[in-house]
Amino acid sequence: MTEPTGEFSLIRSFLERWGDLAQGIGDDGAVLTVPEGHKLVVSTDSAVEDVHFSRDHLTPAEIGYRAAAAALSDLAAMAAEPIGLLFAVVLPESCQSDAEALADGVADAARAAHCPIVGGNISRGGELSITTTVLGSAQHPLSRSGARAGDRLFVTGRLGGASEAVMAWKEGREPAAQNRMAFARPTPRIREARWLAEHGATSAIDISDGLAADARHLAEAGKLRITIDGDAVPVADGASLDAALSGGEDYEILFTGPSSAFGEFTKTFNLMLTEIGAAEEGAPELEVRRKGEPIAVPSGYDHLARR
Amino acid sequence: MTEPTGEFSLIRSFLERWGDLAQGIGDDGAVLTVPEGHKLVVSTDSAVEDVHFSRDHLTPAEIGYRAAAAALSDLAAMAAEPIGLLFAVVLPESCQSDAEALADGVADAARAAHCPIVGGNISRGGELSITTTVLGSAQHPLSRSGARAGDRLFVTGRLGGASEAVMAWKEGREPAAQNRMAFARPTPRIREARWLAEHGATSAIDISDGLAADARHLAEAGKLRITIDGDAVPVADGASLDAALSGGEDYEILFTGPSSAFGEFTKTFNLMLTEIGAAEEGAPELEVRRKGEPIAVPSGYDHLARR
């Protein structure tokens, strides 16, 4: 650490705020137990100021929450149960007074996922960035590659809201409240994805690059052709189908599985589940149709700010 | 990721360079197995440009190596065997051409520690920073807190070289070659620390904040008084006792244990091991003596650049 005194007092302050949520901090590494017969699942994700978020649009607590939620969403995609989160922050001078609110936001996301905070790092720097590493355990982690020909394609929730918020900011408009929330407070679908895995999901991914791009990832990993019925895609209120297809950072779960397996989902979680397509034998590519005709899908997600 | 095309091609290039060292990359998370009966040990560490290193002093490969080695050293301190490393980099436009050399440096450190690279993240940003997360496993992880009254205090290797290099750069001088190497290419003492744990070490820490500061951490965690005989401290050639006591980032192992337990160490690893003090009943504090008299120790390690 760059400034031991400042670092140690900030760490103390974080630990006080986190309370019982912080576990095993104080040694060179945290010691965790992976349940017997379970695999360890691990992922890391960075959120960089003016690339992934802007301090003009989000509160410090939202920045912290969103960074942690995006990482936790990767555990959801693998149907893993969170067992620990590490929070590494590079903090510019101008953000010192926001550090505790950032830490509160991280804690909100961790607490909602029942995930202890087991370590981290605080560094000075010129640019605010947060790198969150998440650890989970699963007996049978879901992967991107398990789809079988004949599986149906499903998605949780509604898509496009986060992307609409980013578009509004880019155009200098204030986004609609529900789109702003979709961007600022996404919900990692942790319990939902574990339920889906237990009920027969064969492959899954969380939607971070956009529905179309992430469906392509499933097609490539599964070596299957994937088709999406554009008319079936659940578009968020105030968002367009384009935003739903090409916008990213929805953090909903896109997955394959048998047609009839997930009937109890919506009742169990009070969350929409929509069948939007299918996996078929064929070259690993994606086709999106509207009214039965293939349509072109703009590729890739355009982040908040391009430098 | 900010720029999918650029990201994906960089990831592909990294994976090609890493070869078999990269494992389980391509899903939302990596899936690892912790050996039965072992604990999982995890730590994360950030290296930020102009705070922890300067591109004026280190090559890109050295920057990558050093970031990964510093993180791996935390596993050494816990006597854990590395099972995976995640490499999250924020890459400014001006560093794009150095990305592969950075990745090579990370791979060097991982390969030397027999640690697969299991994941990572690449983001654009304004400032180069690397956050390395390391995972290890150990049946009985060493902690900072296990010292017993009557234990002796030991340290591996020689101290102060890295700090002397930093001081030279600060004063606008070129550091001596061996001090520069001590800073640029530290060796995480992974195998050594596991051997020490097996042979009776009771507590350990890696020297990142400086010998005196890290000895204080052992005293506080162990609730014991620790004394150091300054005249016994193994000072690196071309370094001062002050640098050895207060300089940081040596990444040697400071540990406690019975006096007679480690006689085979130097022969086994061709590395110096020096008994430099003791743990005693008493208030958790550190006393350093020279010629029998207590001396004052400057506190804390001054990083490369204060902003």
Please tell me if residue A77 touches chain B, with a CB cutoff of 8 Å.
Answer: yes
User: B4 CA to chain A: closest CA distance, Å?
Assistant: 7
Token couple for B272? 């110096």
For residue A305, is pLDDT > 60? Answer: no
- CB contacts under 8 A, A 202-261 vs B, are 205-206, 209, 213, 221
For residue A134, is pLDDT > 70? Answer: yes
SS3 label, residue A270: coil
On average, the pLDDT of chain B sits at 93
d(CA A266, CA A263): 7
pLDDT digit string (tens) for B45-75? 999 999 999 999 999 999 999 999 999 999 9
Cβ-contact B297, B212 below 8 angstroms: yes
Which of the four pLDDT bands, split at 50, 70 and 90, describes residue B300? low
The predicted pLDDT at position A300 comes to 56
The predicted pLDDT at position B299 comes to 63
**CB–CB contact B39 A51 (8 Å):** no
On average, the pLDDT of chain A sits at 93
Q: Which residues contact B54 (CB under 8 A, 6 or more apart)?
A: B169, B304, B305
B170-184: b (≥16 Cβ within 10 Å) or e:
eeeeebbeebbebbb
Question: Percent of chain A, pLDDT > 70?
Answer: 95
The predicted pLDDT at position B245 comes to 96
Distances in Å between the Cα of A238 and the Cα atoms of A158, A160, A174, A175 are 11, 9, 13, 10
Which of the four pLDDT bands, split at 50, 70 and 90, describes residue B110? very high
Torsion of CA A270, A276, A280, A286, to 10 degrees: -120
Q: Which residue from A2, A51, A135 is facing B51, i.e. has the nearest CB?
A: A2
Q: Residue A81: CA atoms inside 13 Å, Cβ hemisphere, count?
A: 12
pLDDT digit string (tens) for A235-270? 999 999 999 999 999 999 999 999 999 999 999 999
For residue B134, is pLDDT > 70? Answer: yes
For residue B263, is pLDDT > 70? Answer: yes
For residue B8, is pLDDT > 80? Answer: no
Q: Which residue from A3, A118, A306 is facing B42, i.e. has the nearest CB?
A: A118
Please tell me if residue B131 touches chain A, with a CB cutoff of 8 Å.
Answer: yes
The predicted pLDDT at position B150 comes to 97
Nearest Cα residue in chain A from B123: A46
B212 chain-A contacts, CB cut-off 8 A? none
A126 chain-B contacts, CB cut-off 8 A? 50, 126-127, 307
The predicted pLDDT at position A11 comes to 86
A84 chain-B contacts, CB cut-off 8 A? 42
The predicted pLDDT at position B307 comes to 30
Please tell me if residue A39 touches chain B, with a CB cutoff of 8 Å.
Answer: yes
Please tell me if residue A133 touches chain B, with a CB cutoff of 8 Å.
Answer: yes
Q: In the 8-state DSSP scheme, what is residue A53?
A: B
More confident residue, A53 or A1: A53
**CB–CB contact B78 A31 (8 Å):** yes
- CB contacts under 8 A, B 179-198 vs A, are none
Please tell me if residue B35 touches chain A, with a CB cutoff of 8 Å.
Answer: no
d(CA B180, CA B165): 5
For residue A306, is pLDDT > 60? Answer: no
Q: Compute and round to an integer the Cα radius of gyration of chain B.
A: 20
Q: Which residues contact A266 (CB under 8 A, 6 or more apart)?
A: A272, A273
Q: Which residues contact A38 (CB under 8 A, 6 or more apart)?
A: A137, A138, A139
More confident residue, A206 or A297: A206
pLDDT digit string (tens) for A70-125? 999 999 999 999 999 999 999 999 988 999 999 999 999 999 999 999 999 999 99
Please tell me if residue B51 touches chain A, with a CB cutoff of 8 Å.
Answer: yes
Helix H, strand E, coil C: the string for B114-156 is CCCEEEEEEEECCCCEEEEEEEEEECCCCCCCCCCCCCEEEEE
Phi-psi region of A72 (alpha: psi -120 to 50; beta: other; left: phi over 0): alpha
What length is written for chain B?
307
More confident residue, A303 or B170: B170
Please tell me if residue A134 touches chain B, with a CB cutoff of 8 Å.
Answer: yes
The predicted pLDDT at position B1 comes to 30
Longest C-alpha distance within chain B, in Å? 64
The predicted pLDDT at position B297 comes to 85
pLDDT digit string (tens) for A52-61? 999 999 999 9
Mean pLDDT within B138-154: 96
Which of the four pLDDT bands, split at 50, 70 and 90, describes residue B11? confident
